Every structure is written in C-alpha cells, then in structure tokens.
Structure 1
C-alpha cells in the first residue's frame, strides 16, 4: 500500500471529494457536480501547487480530521475555520506543512458553510466520466467520506505558493443574486415578478448541494397547467408547487418539471454556496 495517502480520522457532517466537475453529460442525465465555491477551491489548489483540475475535499459546517501517511502541504480556504496540526494552531488561507502521521484538524466553520482542503499532489481517487467529483444526486464518484476512509494522493508537480495569507471574500451576510428573467417568467403574474425582485427571502435549512431553497413570499402562477420536463442549468431559479424559489447548484437535476422564472449569474453562485440558513436573499435584475 502506498504511503502517499490520507486517512480520514473524523469525516464530519458531509465531506466530499470535488474537482471542476463533469460538464457536458446533461444529455445522459448526469449533473455537472464539482466544487460549489469554485474560486475558493482553485485558490486552495494554487496555494499548495496543484493544477486547477486536481481533486480536493469540500467540508460542510463542522470540518474534517485527516492523518497523512507522508509529509504533505495543505491549504484550507472557503468558510473561515480553525486549523490545527497535532493540536497546534495553523494558518487558514495559507500553505501549511503537515508531517507524516500528524493529525490535521479542520474545525467548524466560523462563518459560511463549506471549507476546501487541498493537499499537495491532489486526491487520486478513480475518475468517473472524466471527473473525481462526488455527485450526491446521481451517486457518481466516490461516496461521501466516512471515518477510516483512505484517500490516495497523486504526485507533487509544483512547489507551494510563498505567502502568509491569501485574501478571500467573506461569506455573505446578505446574498444578492443577479438574475435574468426567463425562460418561463410568462408563467407568473406581474405581481409575482415584482415580489421576486423587491421582497427579501431567507436561505432555508433544507438547502444542499442540489439546490439552495428559500423561505419567503410565494410566487403566484399565471399559468397553472403542468409543464413538460425541460432542461435546466446551474443557477436556474425553479419555482415548485409551494411558490418559493429554489436556486439550482452543482448537483442539480438536468431536467425539471416546474417553471424556471429566472437564472442567476454564474459569478454569484459561489456566494450562494457559503450562505448559511437564515441568510437574507435578494434577487436583482440586470446588474
């Protein structure tokens, strides 16, 4: 067994292997998956010297504990959280050297939802359809981490970055999502469209990697008949039977049978990945 591996000591609430995902397979019913906060994940890779295509870990809320079998460089980005090596505080948002056999502890998020843990060499799990990403909807890719999981590491190809701290945007205290209306905005009343763009919603605790669900005023339909299933994209704002918008994220379905009232700009989806339950959400047109 290779010494280039990580042992999962504490898996956390939901820790998955992610990379840039597997786009281009929607015709097969396969979601894109991949990192929800792509800028945070790419920064973690740059800090340890990995290529952008490498795989890393995405944690949810309460972190993860890992023990490398070889000396590695790690970087933790995304949601700010305490980081420690064998109980000694270490840097968040910067390269950290972890000796073989030491315990790397990535703690609970102090704000935001998802932290990213990149390890020099990247995670060398088997790819599926060209990606190592875990897809919670289809079940493709490695299973979410469990205690005792062993993750192989790839070869180191570049030196880590030389910096004390990399600047990162703070998780949102208010989530402002820029939208383009359509393709099914005509299925809603004018009053509903005003509600969407003038009222404040809240992030629901039922949100996940598939979609960010909201709580707030329901949107009234002008067309009440059934909609045949049609293709959807990441950022699509679908309105289910309860009238409350759902923003589709990386593990979304590839088709949906509820009308999509608007689509969020891709640049705003990273902030959506870090919005904790209860965060205020506003939909803004055309900015």
Structure 2
C-alpha cells in the first residue's frame, strides 16, 4: 500500500517519536513536535503509538491513495477534502483507491499531522523514521511525485471515543542549571515579562523576543564550556533573547540555560506562530 505525493507547499517531513540515545554521536533526537496531536492521529486510525506520520508546517499537502486507506488529520486545524468533498478534521476518514486527499493551509497554529492506517513505512535511520532538520539525518523532505509506503494496518479505528488534545496554557518552567549566571531569578524574569515568537523559529528552537535577560556582573563577558542540552532547555545567547530548544536542537551548547520548559508543555511550542504571545508560569 502506498500514497503518492501530488502537491506540497511548505515543509512536510516524516516524523515518529524520534531517535533518543544518539546524543553522544552528535545526532539530535528529532521526532514530532506536537506529540498529543500525532498520538491522536495514530489512535484514530488504529496505529501503534510509535507509527510514523507526516508533519505539515504552515503549508498544504495533496496525497493520492493507490489503494483504499484510512487517514486522520490533527494538530493545526485545516480544511480536509477527498476528491473535493469536505471531510471532518480530527476524525478517521476512508480514502478510496485513486482518490486525492487534500489538506488546506491552517488559519491558526503551525503544524498539522496526517496519519494513515499502517503508518508511513519509509526506511528508518538509526532506528527512527524521523527527519532531523539540523543534521538532516533520516528520510528526505516530502516532495511532489514521491511514493510513500504504508505498513500493514493492525489496530481498530477509534473515530469517536478518542480523548481530545489538551488545552493551550502558559508554558511551565523549571529552574535551569545556570540560573546563577543571570541578574535576578531568570524564571521570575521569564514569567513576568512579555514575550513573542520570533520569525526565525523552527524545529530547532522557539526563538523569543522581549526584554533581554542580562548576565550577573560576576559572569558578564565570561565563556561557558560546551555542555549537554536537553529538550526544552531555555538557552540565552549574548543577545539576551531566549531560545527554547525543540526536537531538532543541537546536543551541546555553550550558552547558559536559564530554565527548562516542562516536557508536557512542549507541544504548545509547535503551534505558536511568529508574532504570537508566549506566556510562562513557574512550576
């Protein structure tokens, strides 16, 4: 079973739960950014939680089914149609053989997820089918004319009783390992200031724009030896403008980490558009 890519606009990649465990080789973990949305899409079509999906970033996608297949679209809301007939978002839908599934551009949010029964069975790299956009490890970016193989459908459809994704809220912060490098409590500064999403944000990091976080006098002008970075780390470069590290983040970094976003809240970073407000709270 396969799906043929008819049209692509924006960045479309294959993503699963990622490839943790290779940081010592310099390989980022990658994987879907909005985990609740990806897991929901897989549940709707009866896939295993680890099945690979397509992540569509601020764009559109058209796929032709070469044989009948069940699909589900979640994440950033968009119009969904099969041969021009509208179908429901966040519900399982059957695409007949030869029909074209089309995802429109999302009016809000950033990343939409497309799951197909059986999962996208592209060749894994280092145990994962995720595309890493920092080191470009994994499958190539999805492009028109590409044929995407599907695995064998194994589970039952869950079109009605699947829990909905959580509701967006403030990003909860844990103290960072280098909090003493800053003038004042960096978590309090992040919580109390007004932040917006920078235009350069991507799968590597959510770049924030707001009042600069300043170094404590004892650390002003000092260099920090490179150290391991974790998912959700809020790193602060010399500009003072924080960056929240996301799935494709570098495995090491030389700037101090002021705080760490709670793992359960990272999915919200995936759906914040440039210019939108970012809110923080203290755990």
Determine if contact 2:204/2:247 at 8 Å carries over to the other structure: yes
Cα distance change of structure 1 residues 280 and 71 upon mapping to structure 2, 3 Å threshold: same
**Structure 1 residue 71, shift from structure 2 partner:** 0.5
Following superposition of structure 1 onto structure 2, how do residues 1-287 of structure 1 map, counting pairs within 5 Å? 4-163=1-160, 167-169=164-166, 172=168, 176-190=170-184, 194-222=188-216, 223=219, 224-286=221-283
Query: Aligned pairs, how many?
Result: 280
For the aligned residue pairs, the C-alpha RMSD in angstroms reads: 1.5
Give the direction of change, closer, same or farther, for the CA distance of 1:166–1:88 in structure 2 (3 Å limit): farther
**Partner SS for 1:44:** helix
Take 2:236 and 2:207, find their aligned partners in 1: how far apart are those partners? 10
> Aligned with 1:84: secondary structure?
strand
Q: Is the 8 A contact 1:184 1:259 kept in 2?
A: yes
Listed as ranges, the gaps of 5+ residues in structure 1 are: none
Inter-partner Cα distance in structure 2 for 1:237 and 1:185: 11
Rounded Cα–Cα distance in structure 1 between residues aligned with 2:183 and 2:198:
24
Distance in 2 of aligned mates of 1:81 and 1:61: 10
CA positional deviation for 1:195:
2.8
Q: Is the 8 A contact 2:174 2:260 kept in 1?
A: yes
Checking the alignment, whether the CA contact within 8 Å between 2:37 and 2:113 is kept in structure 1 is yes
Report if the CA contact (8 A) 1:92-1:165 is conserved: no
- Runs of 4+ off more than 6 Å: none
Q: 1:280 to 1:162 in 2, by over 3 A?
A: closer
Asked whether the 8 Å contact 1:13–1:60 carries over to 2, the reply is yes
CA contact (8 A) 1:47 1:161 kept: yes
Secondary structure of the 2:59 match is coil
User: For residues 182 and 105 of structure 1, do their structure 2 counterparts lie closer, same or farther at Cα, with a shift above 3 Å needed?
Assistant: same
Which structure 2 residue ranges, 5 or more long, are not aligned? none
Query: Following TM superposition, by how much is the alpha carbon of 1:192 offset from its aligned partner in structure 2, in angstroms?
Result: 5.5
Deviation at 1:205, TM superposition (A): 1.5
Distance, in Å, in 1 between the alignment partners of 2:180 and 2:162 is 48
Q: Indicate how the Cα distance of structure 1 residues 15 and 267 shifts in structure 2: closer, same or farther if over 3 A, else same.
A: same
For the residue of structure 2 that corresponds to 1:40, the secondary structure is helix
